[in-house]
């Protein structure tokens, strides 16, 4: 299993990147960090700077065809920056058009909304996105993990870092098939 993790250069919630990454690695998979710029991405623990991580590919170098699935970590700044980048939005859309699984946690559904892929889907997120998801045609649920198969691909979503155990298990199970 080869999984892309899409992250903006500044603002990803570290645990929402590192825990699913480790779950993929523990399952024998390969994770690659994709970003809107080359170099490193800066992670945060809430509002405090945490570690930085090297970028493997830029969005211009990556394609859905290279991967078995896509993980979108949260944090507030990360998905907010990604949804403003046309190439990042196009990359997310391509995973849906190719029928590949996508997983998003916390505020990451913002980029799904921007990519116009939540209509008719059921998903969860950080509670403040509930209205955004509903306005985009999705159904919001308050669950640790939501696995929606009502579309061209499986969409896995979770609310927050406290849900990572369920999120990671769903990602590994779905992405390995």
Catalytic (active-site) positions: 106-107
Q: The tokens 């029928």 sit on which residue?
A: 99
53 — alpha (psi -120 to 50), left (phi > 0) or beta? beta
DSSP 87-156: HHHHHHHHHHHTT--EEEETTTHHHHHHTT--TT-EE---GGGHHHHHHTT-EE---SEEEE-SSSS-EE
Give the C-alpha separation, 64 to 42, whole Å: 24
Instruction: Give the pairing of strands 48-54 and 57-58.
Output: unpaired
Strand partners, 30: 2
Tokens read off for 138: 């999705």
């Amino acid at each position: 299993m080869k999984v892309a993790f899409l992250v903006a250069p500044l603002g990803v919630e570290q645990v929402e990147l590192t825990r699913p990454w480790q779950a993929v690695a523990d399952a024998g998979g390969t994770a690659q960090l994709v970003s809107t710029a080359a170099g490193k991405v800066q992670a945060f623990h809430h509002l405090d700077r945490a570690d930085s991580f090297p970028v493997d590919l830029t969005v211009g170098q990556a394609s859905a065809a290279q991967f078995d699935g896509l993980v979108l970590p949260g944090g507030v700044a990360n998905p907010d920056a990604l949804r403003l980048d046309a190439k990042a939005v196009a990359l997310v859309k391509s995973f849906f058009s190719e029928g590949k699984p996508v997983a998003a946690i916390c505020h990451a559904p913002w980029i799904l909304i921007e990519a116009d892929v939540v209509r008719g889907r059921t998903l969860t997120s950080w509670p403040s996105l509930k209205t955004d998801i509903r306005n985009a045609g999705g159904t919001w649920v308050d669950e640790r993990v939501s696995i929606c198969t009502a579309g061209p691909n499986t969409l896995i979503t979770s609310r927050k870092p406290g849900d990572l155990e369920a999120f990671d298990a769903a990602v590994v199970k779905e992405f390995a098939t």
